[in-house]
Amino acid sequence: MTTDTTLLLPLTLDDISVEWLSAFLSRGAPGTEVAKVTIRDRHDGTAARLALEVDYVPGHDNGLPRHLFVKSLIADPIAPRSMYECEVNFFRTMRPRLTLETPRIAGMEANEAESHFCLVMEDVTARGARMGHPARPYSADEMASILDTEAELHATWWGSPEIDVLFPWLETHLTGPNADFFRTGCPAVMESEYSASAYKKKYFDPDGFYTPERLWKSLWTLQEINEAQVPTVLHGDAHVGNSYAIPGGRGGLIDWQLMRKGCWAHDVTYSLCGMAAEDRRHHEKDLLRGYMAGMERRGVSVGDWDEVWLRHRQNAVWGAVMWMSTPTLLYDEERLSLMIERHRVAMDDLETVAALGCD
């Protein structure tokens, strides 16, 4: 890993220049020369996300796409540094072993000492991808393609002792820097968001049942349960906004910052509960059976139907707590409102608190 943050790791928007991008891309594709770069869009969350349009010097594009996507820190870190390291580790050490749908990486660098990183990848919308967004719910077919991609990931290392050997940086539901962060920092954030954001309390808990205390108890009861299941490699943050659908093709996953080793339902349920409520209610059992069939095609049984349904019911609390705790500065109120309501309704429909024994 390089420590030259002045050249290869952008610190301001001014660093996203012709010279910088040429040097960055040439690390993986020697001789790449950029003639012009335009920032088409920017979104800030735990990192800055920049959509670029690139013109190359004729004959010096090395087959790289014109539309690129940069994920980096253009400000101080606002999340545990393990989140930034995790995504780089995924693309460096795990992605080459997989065939699942993810963006093609054009270049990456990281400085572990400063918790700084940069990924440059294809903009998958140039391939016609429809990016996930709560305001544009997935169809059942699109969700099935995303769950099949999750099945491909899960089946690859289902119960494998190689996980710890190959990927020692993976956390679990109960251990690691992010688990520690959620355990120590999340209660205060959740209480603050619950109290200070009237729209969150309105959408999430109109009847006073889902108190922060009950949610917190339910979350860690779930984590204990998940820790005891057959482990596999998880995306870890497979909500609707971290996925995309290729028309007539495969579902894809982005944002690999919260990967972990654990229970399959952590990913699958989080994805399903982001669907529009009526669509989820109508399709979720068929979609779960489709996921099970996808695992079976790959030689893995996740259990009988009763066990699968129970795990699904229990895991609905994860998304509820995460979206309740997400500060509005990271996502707009419309998006947070939709996700909070959908996950709360899913907990109602699935009787999640009762399934966890926390009622």
> What does 229-281 look like in DSSP terms, one character per residue?
SPPEEE-S---GGGEEE-TTS-EEE---TT-EEE-THHHHHHHHTTS-HHHHH
Quickly tell me which residue has 């796409």 as its tokens: 65
Mean pLDDT comparison of 110-114, 116-120, 130-134, 154-158, highest-scoring range: 154-158
Distance CA 181, CA 254 (A): 22
pLDDT of residue 110: 80
Phi-psi region of 159 (alpha: psi -120 to 50; beta: other; left: phi over 0): left
228-272: pLDDT as tens digits: 999 999 999 999 999 999 988 899 999 999 999 999 999 999 999
Query: Which phi and psi (to 5°) does residue 238 adopt?
Result: -85, 45
Q: Regarding beta strands 48-56 and 130-131, do their DSSP bridges make them parallel or antiparallel, or are they unpaired?
A: unpaired
Encode 265-295: b = buried (16+ Cβ within 10 Å), e = exposed: bbbbbbbbbbbbbebbeebbeebbebbbebb
302-339: pLDDT as tens digits: 999 999 999 999 999 999 999 988 877 777 888 888 99
What's the whole-number mean pLDDT along residues 33-57? 88
Q: In Å, how far from its chain's centre is CA 210? A: 25
What's the whole-number mean pLDDT along residues 284-310? 98
Alpha helices in 56-176 (DSSP H): 81-89, 140-156, 162-166
- 187 pLDDT tier (thresholds 50, 70, 90): confident
Max Cα-Cα span within the chain: 65
**Helix (H), strand (E) at residue 190:** helix 177-196
What's the whole-number mean pLDDT along residues 178-197? 80
Query: Which phi and psi (to 5°) does residue 63 adopt?
Result: 75, 10
What's the whole-number mean pLDDT along residues 351-358? 96
Question: Beta strands of the chain (E only): which ranges?
Answer: 34-44, 48-56, 67-72, 105-111, 116-122, 130-131, 171-172, 232-234, 243-245, 251-253, 260-262
Distance CA 218, CA 303 (A): 23
Distance CA 229, CA 237 (A): 18
Question: Shortest CA distance to 238 belongs to which of 118, 344, 99, 101?
Answer: 101
List domains and CATH numbers for the chain. 5-125 (3.30.200.20), 129-355 (3.90.1200.10)
- 1 pLDDT tier (thresholds 50, 70, 90): very low
- 6 pLDDT tier (thresholds 50, 70, 90): very low
| Residue 117, pLDDT above cutoff 90 | no
| Residue 3, pLDDT above cutoff 60 | no
Of residues 169 and 324, more confidence is placed in: 169
Q: CB under 8 Å to 7, separation ≥6 — which residues?
A: 20, 23
Mean pLDDT comparison of 10-19, 77-86, 238-247, highest-scoring range: 238-247
- Calculate the average pLDDT of the chain: 89
- 7 pLDDT tier (thresholds 50, 70, 90): low
- 99, exposed or middle or buried, with CB in 10 Å at 0-12, 13-18, 19+? exposed
Q: In Å, how far from its chain's centre is CA 106? A: 20
What's the whole-number mean pLDDT along residues 151-176? 96
